[in-house]
């Protein structure tokens, strides 16, 4: 389906983008809390912002996770993406979708229009760069939120997410993020046992997301479409977002955040320092934007705990997606399907394994209906910042401390404007030892 250009009315500066998101729905601050959700007796009305494969999947998981949940509004940067998503949802869960032309929106301001609809909860699944501003707008408008991970791509965005999470706490609003392992039975059981002391005192850990070619990779196809369909630089970047650091954060942030989140969870803290390296050995063409294809980072945690982090997206190489926590009396192993402990108190999880992508929505909805809203905002912000620190270190070749990155770094990867009518050249690929630490 041919793409329809976003009109010039969508042109907005970063400053105005932030101001606009802050102003959305101020008069409706309590709209997400005024309804009663007693035992699921009242319908939960959901809006979706970001209609790619993950946003569409999250919407389907949400409406199947509990009774009386309905998608009523949708928004995306692109009309063809919105049309595909709506058609997919209508085919898969038609009875739980009541989106109309009046509740379908396209453009950089689509999130504002979705939030302004009569909804109780919003799913935020746009490219990670946009999530801090959209979370801010949703919380200020009184909406519960399911937000995909990672939640930002730079320290400026992380600070905004933490501030919005604190506001959600004050307002009694729920924030659940796409860290589905936090809702997966064998992870819950293994971490519980680690915290109970079953492996003794944690001394080190290793975590990996080493995989082959990315399964959703359309880099070459997107570059061809840029020429044949006349996409502007910014439109091509937004459609090819996985390979642009300002949009995805690079794959250490966009993907490896899952493993780093598990390490933070197990240790019960974020790192105090990072020293990383990485590069771009295989994905070297212009279709791959400016991201690396491999990273290796050593993190130092409180009490001298050292963590080795590795991630790679390279076809034909050994694949490992897992975490290992090493203690004084044993060690744990977890991956997407299993969990076990070796040592003084050996254990292997053999219980039920419900779909964690559905379970995270079930837990979110239950917390809303029971009046005890979950708020995962700060912890995923810290896990995302852990990944951002690793990328910053690898890009520059510099070691850096958490306190500086979190509180002093001025790194803001935003483009000068949000408009498809301007030229936005791709930033150069980082060169360790030359790229500046900001």
CB-CB neighbours of 349 under 10 Å: 20
Q: Where are the domains of the chain?
A: 8-181+362-377, 185-353+383-410
Residue 429 CB burial class (10 angstroms; 0-12, 13-18, ≥19)? middle
Residue 26 CB burial class (10 angstroms; 0-12, 13-18, ≥19)? exposed
Backbone angles phi, psi at 110, to 5 degrees: -60, -35
Look at the domain 8-181+362-377 and name its fold: Rossmann fold (3.40.50)
Q: What's the pLDDT at 214?
A: 81
> 120 and 47 in contact (C-beta within 8 Å)?
no
Q: What's the pLDDT at 38?
A: 33
Name the β-bridge partners of 343: 330
Cα angle for residues 107, 112, 113 (degrees, 5° grid): 80
Q: What's the pLDDT at 216?
A: 75
Residue listed under structure tokens 């419900």: 354
CA distance 134 to 407: 22
CA distance 73 to 45: 9
Q: Return the SS3 of 325.
A: strand
Domain 185-353+383-410 is found in CATH 3.30.360.10: yes
Tokens coding 237: 């970047």
Backbone angles phi, psi at 325, to 5 degrees: -110, 125
Q: What's the pLDDT at 9?
A: 31
Q: What is the pTM of this model?
A: 0.90
CA distance 232 to 153: 23
Q: What letter does residue 316 receive in the DSSP assignment?
A: T
- CA-based torsion, 144, 148, 150, 154: positive or negative: negative
Name the β-bridge partners of 320: 210
Spatial CB neighbours of 31, under 8 Å, sequence gap ≥ 6:
25, 118, 120, 141, 142, 143
CB-CB neighbours of 291 under 10 Å: 24
Q: What's the pLDDT at 295?
A: 98
Cα angle for residues 37, 42, 44 (degrees, 5° grid): 80
Q: What's the pLDDT at 27?
A: 29
CA distance 29 to 9: 27
Cα-based distances in Å from 63 to 115, 197, 395, 404: 18, 38, 40, 41
Q: pLDDT tens per residue, the chain (438 residues)?
A: 333 333 333 333 333 333 333 333 322 333 333 344 433 448 999 999 999 999 999 999 999 999 999 999 999 999 999 999 999 999 999 999 999 999 999 999 999 999 999 999 999 999 999 999 999 999 999 999 999 999 999 999 999 999 999 999 999 999 999 999 999 999 999 999 999 999 999 999 999 999 998 877 789 999 999 999 999 999 999 999 999 999 999 999 999 999 999 999 999 999 999 999 999 999 999 999 999 999 999 999 999 999 999 999 999 999 999 999 999 999 999 999 999 999 999 999 999 999 999 999 999 999 999 999 999 999 999 999 999 999 999 999 999 999 999 999 999 999 999 999 888 999 999 999 999 999
CA 217 to chain centre: 18
CA distance 145 to 364: 9
Q: Return the SS3 of 230.
A: coil
Secondary structure element (H or E) that encloses residue 18, with its range: helix 14-23
Spatial CB neighbours of 50, under 8 Å, sequence gap ≥ 6:
75, 76, 123, 124, 125, 126, 127, 130, 148
């Amino acid at each position: 389906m041919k793409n329809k250009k976003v009109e010039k009315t969508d042109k907005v500066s970063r400053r105005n983008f932030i101001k606009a998101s802050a102003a959305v729905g101020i008069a409706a601050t309590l709209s997400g809390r005024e309804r009663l959700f007693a035992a699921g007796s009242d319908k939960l009305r959901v809006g979706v912002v970001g209609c790619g494969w993950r946003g569409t999947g999250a919407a389907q998981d949400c409406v199947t996770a509990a009774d009386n949940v309905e998608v009523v509004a949708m928004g995306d940067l692109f009309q063809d993406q919105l049309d595909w998503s709506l058609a997919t949802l209508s085919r898969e869960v038609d009875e739980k979708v009541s989106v109309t032309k009046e509740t379908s929106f396209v453009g950089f301001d689509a999130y504002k229009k979705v939030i302004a609809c009569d909804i109780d909860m919003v799913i935020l699944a746009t490219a990670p760069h946009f999530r801090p501003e959209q979370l801010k707008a949703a919380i200020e408008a009184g909406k519960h939120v399911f937000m995909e991970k990672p939640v930002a791509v730079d320290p400026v965005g992380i600070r905004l997410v933490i501030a919005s999470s604190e506001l959600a706490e004050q307002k009694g609003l729920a924030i659940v993020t796409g860290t589905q392992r936090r809702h997966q039975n064998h992870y819950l059981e293994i971490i519980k046992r680690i915290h109970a002391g079953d492996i003794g005192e944690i001394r080190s850990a290793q975590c990996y997301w080493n995989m082959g070619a990315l399964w959703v990779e359309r880099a070459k196809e997107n570059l061809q479409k840029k020429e044949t369909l006349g996409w502007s630089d910014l439109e091509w970047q937004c459609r090819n977002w996985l390979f642009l650091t300002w949009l995805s954060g690079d794959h250490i942030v966009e993907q490896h955040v899952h493993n780093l989140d598990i390490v933070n969870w197990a240790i019960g803290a974020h790192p105090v320092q990072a020293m990383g390296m990485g590069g771009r050995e295989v994905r070297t063409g212009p279709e791959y934007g400016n991201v690396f294809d491999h990273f290796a980072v050593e993190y130092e945690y409180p009490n001298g705990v050292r963590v080795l982090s590795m991630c790679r997206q390279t076809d034909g190489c050994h694949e490992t997606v897992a975490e290992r926590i090493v203690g004084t009396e044993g060690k744990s192993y977890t991956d997407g399907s299993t969990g076990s402990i070796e040592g003084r108190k050996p254990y292997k999880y053999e219980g039920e394994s419900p779909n964690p992508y559905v379970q995270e929505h079930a837990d979110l909805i239950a917390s809303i209906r029971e009046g005890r809203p979950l708020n995962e905002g700060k912890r995923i912000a810290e896990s995302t910042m852990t990944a951002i620190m690793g990328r910053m270190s690898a890009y520059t070749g510099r070691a850096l401390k958490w306190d500086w990155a979190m509180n002093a770094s001025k790194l803001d990867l935003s483009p000068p404007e949000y408009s498809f009518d301007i030229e936005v050249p791709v930033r150069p690929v980082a060169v360790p030892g030359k790229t500046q630490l900001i």
